[in-house]
Structure 1
Amino acid sequence: MPDPAIAPFSVLDPLISRYSSWLALPGEVTADTSDENPQNVVLMPMVLRIERREPPDRTALLEAAAAAAIAVCLDERCKPGGEWHEAMRTWISGRIRKVARRARGAHWEAVQALPGRTVRVGNAEVRAFLPMRVADMPKELSRLQISGSELDADEPPQPAADAPTLWLNPDVPMSAGKSAAQVGHATMILASLLHGAGLDAALERWAVDDFRCSVRQADADTWERLHPCDDPETAWRRARVAMVRDAGFTEVEPGTVTVLAQWR
């Protein structure tokens, strides 16, 4: 068994090679799930705290979601030999799926006891959970609604100069729940690429900073300037830009690039 002190980020290894191979596929290609039993799908649940009287800022909520997703992946318990390692490694080795649900009040408090990590940014809180089969999802999660997570757009300041920025596609409207899942994909990809490039020291510093990042809606010029187009490997090597390409299960067309992740 690998020594956790030697391979702290090895749980991400399966994602490194899959990033390049997935981006190399034609844009319209998506996974064939026609023979898939929905109850056997393994996914990472994410719960967004959206109180009725005092809803969070949309940007803060997405930044909390982005940090929570990678925080649970790189939790101490996911290291080799840890109690969460097998479940996390199995999920990362397969299809990376997430589903965002919303909760408030007692329902939010109830999910805190389930295995996962909660991150707070500003007035927003998100908890990401250990991946699980849909059939095994506890009632505390399954009873929560997926729809109704939309929040009004806000006007955040300029992105932090010392943290990665996750740029949302300006031409692809997404609900807050869908966006939360996409920025969660983005931080996972960033972390795996840093690990693959031997930049574990940078990854460790990011972890110490609680995986802080900025989530912003890109304007057309920023999107065009940063988009890797047909050469994502060069974009990462030269500009430290990665992209999230969606499989098209919900809200967007298969192959849509939803997020550009820019490492700072």
Structure 2
Amino acid sequence: MSSDDTSQSPAREASPSPFHHGPTDRDAAPQYVLPLVVHLEKTAPPARTDALRTAARAVLTILADERSTGEGEWAGAMRDWEDARIRKVVRRARGAEWRKAAELPGITVTGGSAEVRVYPPIPLDGWPKELAKLQVSGTDLDDPEPPAAPDPEGPVLWLNPELEMSAGKTMAQVGHGAQLAWWELSDTERKAWREAGFPLSVATATPERWRELTASGLPVVRDAGFTEIAPGPTVVAEGGLRFCPLPGVRNRR
């Protein structure tokens, strides 16, 4: 599922947001997309919450990878992507499709039951044939057991309780939330989080908690409303007590 979103991120207010609603110079720039592919076998699908966490960790992993920064081989594509709207597309693959997709340059991130491969950004109309034929819509997953409560040591990507989104759409949204959190951190905080393997939680907020979170000044993902849902907030990134210590609700308690 594709996602083209906006954000509210206090540390980046001085420059145009790459998730901005209205027309900006970013819209005139060549548009790129960050592809993610979830391994989805019919007989053993991953748990929904684990797939969401793994997608968010995959986005963080490629942001932190040395090939994505400085003079790295993916750095140019990453800069081009961030100069335009921040788009992510989640597709699914199984069997031979997954094996072919895994041969392309990228990074596979594994969770408890989920595998997600993330690739360096590509032009909107420049998909490799191995990925172009993969399906986007209909990526629906369930949690066979109630997810564990969020770990207080790591950040939480809180989902809007009023929205119903496919797993693919939600994976893109939590990827945006993780990216906003990453942008807020110092190099020291990023290093600690990366070395720990990017621990994080994904959970749906209660309505009362959601109102508190969206008014807290924490990073907010705002969907542009092109697919599945109307424009509006989808995810709030809240920091953890040990990793990704964003200022806000939790750290005031």
Fold shared, TM-score > 0.5 on shorter chain: yes
Q: Which amino acid aligns with 1:63?
A: R
Q: Distance in 1 between matches of 2:74 and 2:116?
A: 20
State the secondary structure of the residue aligned to 1:54. coil
State the secondary structure of the residue aligned to 1:245. strand
- Equivalent pair of 1:19/1:189 in contact (CA under 8 Å): no
State the secondary structure of the residue aligned to 1:135. coil
| Structure 2 counterpart of 1:75 | 65
Which of residues 2, 12, 16 in structure 2 aligns to 1:17?
Answer: 12
Which of residues 233, 236, 239 in structure 2 aligns to 1:260?
Answer: 236
- For 1:119-154, what per-residue CA distance to the aligned partner results, in whole angstroms no more than 9, with x for missing partners? 111011111110001332111100100012111245
- For 1:55-107, what per-residue CA distance to the aligned partner results, in whole angstroms no more than 9, with x for missing partners? 11000000000000121122110121111111101111211001110111111
- Equivalent pair of 2:19/2:86 in contact (CA under 8 Å): no
User: Is 1:101 the counterpart of 2:96 in the alignment?
Assistant: no
Which of residues 198, 211, 222 in structure 2 aligns to 1:245?
Answer: 222
| Structure 2 counterpart of 1:155 | 146
- For 1:175-206, what per-residue CA distance to the aligned partner results, in whole angstroms no more than 9, with x for missing partners? 10000001111111101011xxxx22111111
| Structure 2 counterpart of 1:166 | 157
Q: Distance in 2 between matches of 1:31 and 1:73?
A: 26
User: What do you get for the CA RMSD once the two structures are aligned?
Assistant: 2.6
User: Is 1:193 the counterpart of 2:184 in the alignment?
Assistant: yes
For structure 1, the 5+ residue unaligned runs are: 1-14, 229-234
- Equivalent pair of 2:19/2:85 in contact (CA under 8 Å): no
Identity in percent: 42
Number of aligned residue pairs: give it. 229
CA shift at 1:207, angstroms? 0.6
CA shift at 1:212, angstroms? 1.9
Q: Distance in 2 between matches of 1:247 and 1:114?
A: 30
Give the TM-score taking structure 2 as reference length. Answer: 0.83
- Equivalent pair of 1:30/1:248 in contact (CA under 8 Å): no
Q: Distance in 2 between matches of 1:76 and 1:24?
A: 24
| Structure 2 counterpart of 1:231 | none
State the secondary structure of the residue aligned to 1:151. coil
Give the TM-score taking structure 1 as reference length. Answer: 0.80
- Equivalent pair of 1:23/1:245 in contact (CA under 8 Å): no
CA shift at 1:30, angstroms? 4.4
CA shift at 1:221, angstroms? 2.0
Q: Distance in 1 between matches of 2:18 and 2:36?
A: 25
- Equivalent pair of 1:45/1:130 in contact (CA under 8 Å): yes
- For 1:8-34, what per-residue CA distance to the aligned partner results, in whole angstroms no more than 9, with x for missing partners? xxxxxxx96369754997xxx5458xx
Q: Which amino acid aligns with 1:120?
A: T
- Equivalent pair of 1:118/1:126 in contact (CA under 8 Å): yes
Q: Distance in 1 between matches of 2:179 and 2:56?
A: 9
Q: Distance in 1 between matches of 2:17 and 2:92?
A: 30
For structure 2, the 5+ residue unaligned runs are: 1-9, 241-253
Alignment of 1:174-193 (within 5 A): 174-193=165-184
Q: Which amino acid aligns with 2:81?
A: W
State the secondary structure of the residue aligned to 1:215. strand
| Structure 2 counterpart of 1:210 | 197
Higher share in helix: 1
- Equivalent pair of 1:168/1:258 in contact (CA under 8 Å): yes
| Structure 1 counterpart of 2:3 | none
Q: Distance in 1 between matches of 2:82 and 2:238?
A: 22
Q: Distance in 2 between matches of 1:129 and 1:262?
A: 26
Alignment of 1:28-177 (within 5 A): 29-31=21-23, 41-153=31-143, 154-177=145-168
Shift in CA distance, 24/73, structure 1 to aligned 2, threshold 3 Å: closer
State the secondary structure of the residue aligned to 2:219. strand
User: Is 1:224 the counterpart of 2:201 in the alignment?
Assistant: no
Shift in CA distance, 259/86, structure 1 to aligned 2, threshold 3 Å: same
State the secondary structure of the residue aligned to 1:173. coil
